[in-house]
Chains A and B, each alone.
Chain A
Amino acid sequence: MARSRKNHGLSRRSLIGGMAATPFAVGGLGNTSVWAQEEEEPGATPEPTLVPAPDAVQLEFWDMQWGSAAFMAAMQNLVTEFNRQHPEIYVNFRQLAWGDYTQKLLSAVQAGTPPDIGGGDSGIPFNMAAQGEALDISDLYEEWQNDGTFDDMKPWAYEKWQDFQGTTPGITWQLDSRGIYYRKDLLEEAGVSVPTTWDEWRSALEALHKPEDGLYALAVPGKQGSYDTDQFYMTLAFQAGARLADEEGNPTIDTPEHLAALEFEKDLVTNFAAEGTPSWTFTEVMRAFEQGNAAMAFGGGWFIEDIRVNAPDLFDKVGLLPPLEGPGGPESQFIVSFANPWMIYKQTEHPEEAKTFLRWMMQPDNLMQMYSSEPGGKWPVYNSLLETETYQSNELIATMAEHTLEYGVDYWYPNTAAAVGIASMGTTLTDLVINPVITGNREPKDALADAQAAVEPLFQRQDS
């Protein structure tokens, strides 16, 4: 669970190219971004990397395939720039595919050959720290605290990792947000104003839903085994005031707040979404929205660029709903925004050089080079970057960026007492709760009880 990932969808234009490219996609199972590269993107080819100096300390940096070829090229270029500026250190960047990165990292740790610095999903530093494999970077935190870096940073981006079992295992370098896109024109036609609460939202969906005309009011992911599915549910759960664990680190899945969220999702999917929703991922959601078959769609920031490219006629008609107020009240008016980290592995033989690299990468100007390579792909951790051209380039991007910094939280919010348990849930919520409920195969209350029982062993801690 809680795997924040770049989840490019399949556009109509990319479909044909994608079919031709499928043989090359085998190695990247689970990473659909391969197909979304319609043609050679500008800046998609990284600059030539440098050759390490003979006496340079060599570091391995492994991170995920976070975005388009342009984004990954920007990442490589940034590493190359670091190498240029620091001839005494040479960082070798290796991309990991989403399909098997966990196995790769676990095997590498087990074999004593993990990278020096690594990225991954939004919970991986917790998992590595629990195995004694994450280097404590609290000294870097102290620096960032003292030099004002944290004053500019979204608090959850660093608070999330602070003092986890006595260490600080990572730092957030980008946020990956989800939101609900809507068609302004359809809302206007229906004479409905932009909803701000669950009740208003439901009324709006009622007014928009016209399945007899091929228009569903809402498109959301619901496929089993998919990390996309729990992201919509968790948005509702947060807004209902639910959390995945309490302050003592015990799972709190079987609660009235979760029940409210789950029953609401069931209501929405049953009454306002396509019947095929239990087999949908973000790919199908985006396709339905871009083809004009859905009035609202739950999706990630990458939807913005995809709509602009593949459904340009729609682009100006699309808006982003504000974070809705649910039963949890205004204090729970959240959106899901994964705080994706970098960390240093404890097995590194060069911790100081690794910290030098991390310190340099976290500088706003350097991060901005990546952010700007794919506008809307990733959201900044620094408030000051909101004013840059990248995040003001269009209304959707500006709105999502603002929502991210103001309302974004991820599954670990608000404390890390149950960090390892949450990071180890995999697709439990999707498989045991959401998909069985929206298919009508399990009652919400029973499904939550199933999940609570299933995750309880995962939440056991050494001190419990």
Chain B
Amino acid sequence: MSLEETQVQTAGTHQRPYIQAPSGKGRMRAHIRKHAMPYLLILPSLLFLVAIEFYPLGVGLLEAFKYHNRVQPWATQYNGIDNFVKAFNDHTVRIALRTSFVMVFGIVGLSYLLGLLSGVLLNQRLRLRGVYRALILIPWVAPPVVSFISWQWMLNDQSGIINRILINLGIIGEFDPILWLADPTLAMVSIIVVGTWSRFPFMMITVLAALSAIPDDLNEAAAVDGATPFQTFRHITFPLILPVSVIATLLQAIWVFNDFGLPFVLTGGGPANATTPLILLAYKEAFQRFNIGYGTSLAVISMVLMLALGAVYLRLQAKQQGEMS
């Protein structure tokens, strides 16, 4: 039914024409007719997403509510929320969660500070600025596993280059190595240092992008008004890059929380489970002990926590876009 057709003149008192709203069915049909092409165009992507994202996710979610060990197929059955109850009562899981958060706060905090510092420095008019920027990107573009294995060599207590340098400088004794990877506290420090090294370039790029969007005249005006460089940074630059920083930090937090490779390669989760985050524990349950159900439930806990962070991220992004528009 076209709009013209719906235009009905009522008899008697109502002289002015009005438009009768189409019925629900008609509205839907009109909408589909108008928007069919866009839906058709996104259909392959949707199907693809369903196949590789939502279907496995659905299967995974179901697994989390099962006792399912690959080598005990006869024992597979839905067990309600038993896996989650077990997880929340499991001391190892609590330690792993704590480890995950320590990694997140340590790596994200330090990589932001370092990224901010290097971003601000490389935003200055320096000679060979482009070269420095490219060099700083190396940790980020290098394949993570390669980097982590190299770090593992460097941090080796007996023959690692870091202890060698410290010995040569006379800082530590020849036979008194620092146990970078064998002491629980130092192992966590090593994880945070290596994680920071590999992730701060992303922060630097983000900060640089935000800095380049700040008009020069703002800084010039501040300078004319007598603001020191620190005051300019604190009251003008930093507030302007803060929204982008928050989003980048949240993204990093999600990535670090899910970072399996770093602890797996560098420490294997040890010593004494000191560097086993939740995601590594989930892997060990699922793929080393074949405990697919329980391992999946740990992964689901991780996913829920990350979804919460993701929701914050999306909200902030929407707010930021609102402010920009």
Contacts and interface: CB of A to CB of B under 8 A. Distances in A.
A411 B182 CA distance: 27
Given A279-B179, A424-B71, A426-B288, A26 B145 contact: yes
Nearest to B180: A279
Interface string A225-239: 110000000000000
A439 interface: yes
A127 B182 contact: no
Nearest to B156: A284
Contacts of B265: 29
Nearest to A447: B272
A256 interface: no
B237 to A, nearest CB: 38
B179 A275 contact: yes
Given A274-B157, A441-B272, A214 B175 contact: yes
A31 B291 CA distance: 24
Interface in A119-146: 126-127, 130-132
Interface string A452-463: 000001101110
A126 B70 CA distance: 12
Nearest to A210: B175
Interface in B21-76: 69-75
A428 B175 CA distance: 32
Interface in B163-184: 174-175, 177, 179-182, 184
A424 B290 CA distance: 6
Nearest to A421: B71
Interface in A256-298: 274-280, 284, 287-288, 291, 293
A284 B272 contact: no
Interface in A378-435: 420, 423-428, 431, 435
B111 to A, nearest CB: 22
B270 A276 contact: no
Contacts of B72: 130, 420, 458, 460-462
A442 interface: yes
Interface size class of B (residues with CB under 8 A): 35 or more
A223 B158 contact: no
A131 B272 contact: no
A436 interface: yes
A126 B157 CA distance: 39
A460 to B, nearest CB: 6
Given A19-B150, A276-B158, A431-B269, A458 B69 contact: yes
Contacts of A425: 289
Given A130-B71, A211-B175, A223-B270, A276 B184 contact: no
B181 A276 contact: yes
Contacts of A439: 182, 184, 270-272
Contact of A431 (B75, B179, B180, B284): B284
B272 A127 contact: no
Contacts of A226: 268
A356 interface: no
Contacts, number: 146
Contacts of A277: 182
A111 to B, nearest CB: 13
Nearest to A436: B272
A431 B146 contact: no
B143 A26 contact: yes
Contacts of A427: 268, 284, 288
Given A29-B265, A420-B71, A103 B287 contact: yes
A26 B73 CA distance: 33
B271 A293 contact: no
Contacts of B177: 274-276
Interface in A8-39: 10, 15, 19, 22-23, 25-26, 29
Nearest to B147: A22
B271 A131 contact: no
Contacts of A131: 70-71, 73
Contacts of B184: 439, 441
A102 interface: yes
Interface in A192-235: 211-214, 222-226
Contacts of A224: 267-273, 276
Contacts of B268: 223-226, 427
Nearest to B294: A457
A436 B73 CA distance: 32
A53 interface: no
Contact of B273 (A132, A284, A431): A431
A25 B174 CA distance: 32
Nearest to A441: B272
Given A29-B145, A436-B271, 20 more contacts: A23-B143, A25-B149, A102-B287, A131-B70, A223-B268, A224-B272, A225-B268, A276-B158, A278-B272, A279-B187, A279-B267, A284-B158, A420-B72, A424-B289, A424-B290, A427-B284, A427-B288, A435-B271, A458-B71, A462-B75
Interface of A: 10, 15, 19, 22-23, 25-26, 29, 102-103, 106, 126-127, 130-132, 211-214, 222-226, 274-280, 284, 287-288, 291, 293, 420, 423-428, 431, 435-436, 439, 441-442, 457-458, 460-462
16 contacts: A25-B149, A130-B71, A130-B72, A224-B273, A225-B269, A225-B270, A277-B182, A278-B272, A279-B156, A279-B181, A279-B187, A280-B182, A291-B159, A426-B287, A431-B284, A436-B272
**Which 10 pairs, one residue from A and one from B, show the smallest C-beta to C-beta distance?**
A224-B270, A225-B268, A426-B288, A276-B157, A279-B181, A441-B272, A279-B182, A278-B271, A278-B182, A436-B272
Interface of B: 69-75, 143, 145-146, 149-150, 153, 156-159, 174-175, 177, 179-182, 184, 187, 264-265, 267-273, 276, 284, 287-291
